Amino acid sequence: MGQAIAALVEEPSQNTRLAAANDALVIVAGVDARADGSTLQFPLYSALDDVREAIDVVIDFTRPQALTRLLAFAHDRHAALVLATTGYDESDMMRISAASKDIAIFRSANFSVGVYMLTELARRAALTLSGCDVEITETHHRTKLDAPSGTALALARAIEEANAEPLIPRYGRAPNEPPRQRGELGIHAIRGGTAAGDHSVFFLMDGETIELTHRAHSRDVFARGALRAAQWLAPKPPGLYGMNDMLDTPRRR
């Protein structure tokens, strides 16, 4: 993801589009624990504490284990923070919320605008079709660590919030298990190849099915969304922001 972000920022047409609302983006430093001294357009450090450049925003595509140091670093440097990492647990989310009182934080399970619209459509369908059977599937590359994906879990939360009745998550299905029960929300993870990320939500009724699907053709969509979020977030006051804030989408019930 770091390479995808760097390639987009260095692409003149991309930077022109991003500059329409503000100054063009400039990468002043990168951090990668496996940094090998390769020559880039900017310094690449192996540790966050080594960064000495002046920064406005930090974009994070790493692992939940990096959160504590990231929050402290952003606080110390008075920098905004774009969290594009998935797999945070409840205690992580509490720390993110607490830190947002002092710094601007943008967090999303997925930085694709298309996935955001998929979530909104699924929410609306759940409002209208409350009581039908709902299943979610997601497909990612073989090296993805968390399962189900953060996006699948975000879709499940949106559907649960909109549904008139409580839903019980069911992760996968195995032989000799009882048949589907009323109120189940099936969530299934597929891993293999180099898939960038496919998500589908099925609303299954008697005699008909509605399927909502989003497919990411490359990781550039996530890098482009993170860059857009960084530019949008930079001038914002402390607070916790998400895609609905940036896209100014009203929430109605």
Query: For residue 215, what are its two tokens?
Result: 């497919």
- How far does CA 175 lie from the centroid of its chain? 33
Is 140 an annotated catalytic residue? yes
Catalytic residue among 78, 140, 199, 214: 140
Instruction: Give every CB contact of residue 178 below 8 A, 6+ residues apart in sequence.
Output: none
Catalytic residue among 75, 141, 144, 214: 144
Judge if the upstream peptide bond of residue 238 is cis by omega within 30 degrees of 0.
Answer: no
Sign of dihedral through CA atoms 158, 161, 165, 169? positive
In angstroms, the CA 215 to CA 186 distance is: 19
10 Å CB burial of residue 91 (0-12, 13-18, 19+) is exposed
- How far does CA 7 lie from the centroid of its chain? 20
Is 236 an annotated catalytic residue? no
Residues with active-site annotation: 140, 144
